Amino acid sequence: MTDLLTANFADHWVLDPVAGLAGVADVSVVAGQIVSVTWRDGEVAARACWAAGANPGPDDPTVALLPALIDLHAHFRQPGADASEDVESGTRAAAHGGYGTVALMPNTEPAADNVETLQRAIAGERHSVRLLPIAAATVGRAGTQVSDVAALVKAGAVAISDDGSPIADRVVFRAALLAAAAAGIPLIEHCEDPTLTASGEAADGLVASRLGLRPWPAAGELRAVESAIAVLRDIVVTAPTARLHLTHLSTAAALEVVRGAQGEGLPLTCDVTPHHIALTDGWIAGDRRWAWEVPVDDEFLVPTTAAFDSNLRVCPPLRTMIDAFACREALRNGTALAIGTDHAPHSREKKEVEFGLAANGIAGIETCLSVALAAHHAGELSLATIVAALTTGPALLLGITTTSVTPGAVASFVQVDLAASWRPSRATLLGRSINTPLLERELPGVVQRTVLEGHLAYQR
Amino acid sequence: MVTQAAPEEERSRRHLLDVAGLDWRSLQKLLASAGEMQQLLDAPAGGSDALRGVGVTTLFYEPSTRTRISFEAAAAALGARVTTFSVATSSVGKGESLIDTVRTLEALRNHVIVLRHERAGAPWLAARHFGGSIVNAGDGWHAHPTQALLDLSVLSRHLGDRNGSLAGRRIAIVGDLLHSRVVRSNLHTLTTAGATVVLTGPASLTTGFAEHAASFRDTPGSVQLVATIDEALSGADAVMALRIQRERLTPGELDSLEAYRAAWGLTESRLAALAPHALVLHPGPMNEGVEIDPDVADGPRSLVLEQVRAGIPMRMAVLQQVVSEARA
């Protein structure tokens, strides 16, 4: 571990999502602690700047300081698939991506449905990244018997989930929701109706039809979301501590239903992924435009030589520019409280195969901030929205506090050059697996340093 | 539609992955080349040695009779060294990946791989890892380029104008659209040739095809999806029956083969409504008595055997083209 940091960060674009401040500031760090944050134009102006979206003007500094990011959804594959990722490589990648805290999904081998596996899942060199284990909601993630939630929470679990699969049996789902409520943690549900999505390769729609890919219907997500909400509504009266979080939502229809249920006051939250806000199913045909660059009815339908890239196989599948718009709108209007990376590293053996035979998932923890910044630069998302979705939003779900850029706090922040760009590649990515469709693409936002718990965890 | 970058087009021309994206001039060139190949076949020598020294392997992950034999005959007629790769008895059975297999075939001095695979997009993966040419001989539900090309050559010969164009012609395609790589590829070639394509089939097997049909906006021809076979046959110059792919059906997609024949089969009585010149096609293999009656398949309107015959010269044209592009 490096020594405690002492440094001055003069003239940075600083964001403090906890206090709701943004603007040009000098940040002084002594022995790993933030001793002062001096706002150039004063706190009142900083508050107004945050409220206006925290976007820097053309004459403002382009190097920003944000609180170390928090991911509510990642897979580090330990134990069971260390060839794809483990805690050491995963946290190295996380620090590179600007993350200081990562919640790990329990679909390891074996599943983290017991205290011993839960602890193994976070053991190892962590590069100062804080790891929060999520426990399997059901034994073996088999969806038939609820895990010993109380014991798992005592051992550090911050949530339960059968992520990778839904808890399809709604009686078991109800029991898991009640067990989580009793333990004071949320249930994180992967919303998919497997009777509709079995063998699906790509989102149902024009691209899948043109490419001859087996369809994964939007109804597969919508039905699961509707029934999960119906169960929540049933139990919330008698179990007021119940909390349901729907992860990696991808369809306009499902997000609309979630928004309606939130309007009823149900304890319901959700997140979206970087790939669902920024990519479309046209990428499978070889399109490389960001989702917001695609006009309506201008899908990319004639496959290029880059078509059928297995790095685009993901569950839920990539969808149209309309769904991607809905995912960004959910961040803007607060329906989604977080961007969760769903960082899903896979070895070459599992990915360099036929599209329909490839494992689902995109390694995204190192590119998430850049993808969000690409949306920001296009005027799609304000910096305040992005930073909240990557810090205070997930913190709220996980029941932790965001260590912000504020005097007295331990230095846990990321220094990112908003104007610079980089290209993900075998050489620049630090994770063990590089299954991302963004390889060799120029991305905005270069993380220069990630400071965690007062130590330098990553330096470019 | 976004145009592809020029270097990519150059790279892609050494393969035949798809007919999507081929313009009318490219199609005409292949039709003309297939015509020349037919003359070669009809000449006393019965072929040429244009591909002498070229290694052509047929790598088929799905069963096939006509496509495979047709490609092998085509390669042999051009003097190529032809190898049949038997997936069932190879290292593929031991779990060798597609990438490793094509790399091995390249090391074994194969220049062209003719690939049939049950998964959409497999030829694209192979092309990214093979130094020679990949010819797509059918990938899952997605594409069957040489079938569409030979169908075009047959239709163009019978129904085309002086330039082979099918402008003003109505081609009906009936049956299981959902699982059909034949229809997906034919939509590209036929609309590029100017035809109006009228699709029909049971609702469970035409899922997504309303939008799919409407997406052919920028082609000379157009595509419509209609609800009944009678509408599809009305005014048709040709009708193509698609095979009911029993191996690809999932429960509930089809009531019974008898019910299918009653509603969608090409029967003598249905054909009575067709114009006298109208023709009947089927990509084969046929389920006779299901999507097409034996009398129709063997009847005077049928081009079924002509389609099979057209396969060899068209595949010769394709092999010749990809090899000459690779050499260039």
pLDDT at A227: 97
Over range A374-391, report the average pLDDT: 98
pLDDT at A2: 72
pLDDT at B3: 39
Active site (annotated) includes residue A342: yes
Q: Helices B304-327 & B145-159, crossing angle to 10 degrees?
A: 120
pLDDT at A235: 96
| Mutation to test the A interface, candidates B125, B133, B204, most A Cβ within 10 Å | B125
Is the Cβ pair A213, B215 closer than 8 Å? Answer: no
Residues A80 and A42 in one domain: no
Contacts of A214 in chain B (CB under 8 A): 141
CA distance A16 to A384: 9
pLDDT at B10: 57
Residues A414 and A347 in one domain: no
Interchain CB contact of B26 with A (< 8 Å): no
Minimal Cβ distance to B20: which of A302, A305, A352: A302
pLDDT at A217: 96
Contact B115, B98 (CB under 8 A): no
Over range A280-305, report the average pLDDT: 93
Q: Is the pLDDT of residue B11 over 70?
A: no
Query: Is residue A325 domain-resident?
Result: yes
End-to-end CA distance of chain B: 28
Number of other residues whose CB lies within 10 A of the CB of residue A425: 13
CA distance A211 to A359: 19
Tokens representing A434 are 């590089």
Q: How confident is the model at residue B8 (pLDDT cuts 50, 70, 90)?
A: low
How high is the mean pLDDT of chain A? 97
pLDDT tens digit sequence for B25-50: 999 999 999 999 999 999 999 999 99
pLDDT higher at A153 or B64: A153
Over range B125-145, report the average pLDDT: 97
Q: How many structural domains compose chain A?
A: 2
Residues A139 and A221 in one domain: yes
Q: Which residue has the tokens 């965890």?
A: A457
Q: How confident is the model at residue B250 (pLDDT cuts 50, 70, 90)?
A: confident
A205-234 residues touching B, CB cutoff 8 A:
205-206, 208-215
Residues contacting A256, CB < 8 A, separation 6+: A326
* Given A16, A271, A287, A342, the catalytic residue: A342
Contacts of A205 in chain B (CB under 8 A): 208, 211
pLDDT tens digit sequence for B276-311: 999 999 999 999 999 999 999 999 999 999 999 999
Pick the range with the lowest mean pLDDT from B38-42, B95-99, B210-214, B231-235. Answer: B95-99
pLDDT tens digit sequence for A170-196: 999 999 999 999 999 999 999 999 999
Give chain B's domains with CATH numbers. Answer: 6-144+311-327 (3.40.50.1370), 147-307 (3.40.50.1370)
Q: What angle do CA A409, A415, A416 make, to 5 degrees?
A: 145
How many CB contacts within 8 angstroms connect chain A with chain B? 102
Q: Tell me the three state secondary structure of residue A358.
A: coil
Phi, psi of A355 (to 5 degrees): -50, -50
Tokens representing B326 are 């690779």
Residues A36 and A174 in one domain: no
CA distance A308 to A255: 28
Contacts of B181 in chain A (CB under 8 A): 212
* Structural domain of A184: 68-398
Q: What angle do CA B284, B37, B87 make, to 5 degrees?
A: 50
Is the Cβ pair A310, B125 closer than 8 Å? Answer: yes
Contact B74, B61 (CB under 8 A): no
Classify strands A413-422 and B222-225 as parallel, antiparallel or unpaired.
unpaired
Q: Which residue has the tokens 């163009």?
A: B156
User: For position A369, which CATH number holds?
Assistant: 3.20.20.140
Query: Is residue A298 domain-resident?
Result: yes
pLDDT tens digit sequence for A78-94: 999 999 999 999 999 99
Over range B114-119, report the average pLDDT: 97
Residues A351 and A234 in one domain: yes
| Mutation to test the B interface, candidates A283, A320, A350, A354, most B Cβ within 10 Å | A354
Q: Tell me the three state secondary structure of residue B198.
A: strand
Over range A390-409, report the average pLDDT: 97
Residues A57 and A173 in one domain: no
User: For position A61, which CATH number holds?
Assistant: 2.30.40.10
Q: Tell me the three state secondary structure of residue B236.
A: coil
Query: Is residue A435 domain-resident?
Result: no
Contact B102, B122 (CB under 8 A): no
Q: Which residue has the tokens 């292949």?
A: B30
Q: Is the pLDDT of residue B93 over 70?
A: no
Interchain CB contact of A307 with B (< 8 Å): yes
Q: Helices A219-235 & A252-263, crossing angle to 10 degrees?
A: 10
Contacts of A293 in chain B (CB under 8 A): none
Is the Cβ pair B20, A349 closer than 8 Å? Answer: no
Interchain CB contact of A299 with B (< 8 Å): yes
Is the Cβ pair A301, B143 closer than 8 Å? Answer: no
Q: How confident is the model at residue B2 (pLDDT cuts 50, 70, 90)?
A: very low
Query: Is residue A144 domain-resident?
Result: yes
Query: Is residue A432 domain-resident?
Result: no
Contact A112, A159 (CB under 8 A): no
Residues contacting B271, CB < 8 A, separation 6+: B233, B278, B280, B296, B299, B301
Please state the ipTM of this predicted complex.
Answer: 0.94
Interchain CB contact of A115 with B (< 8 Å): no
Q: Is the pLDDT of residue B252 over 50?
A: yes
pLDDT tens digit sequence for A226-276: 999 999 999 999 999 999 999 999 999 999 999 999 999 999 999 999 999
Query: Is residue A183 domain-resident?
Result: yes
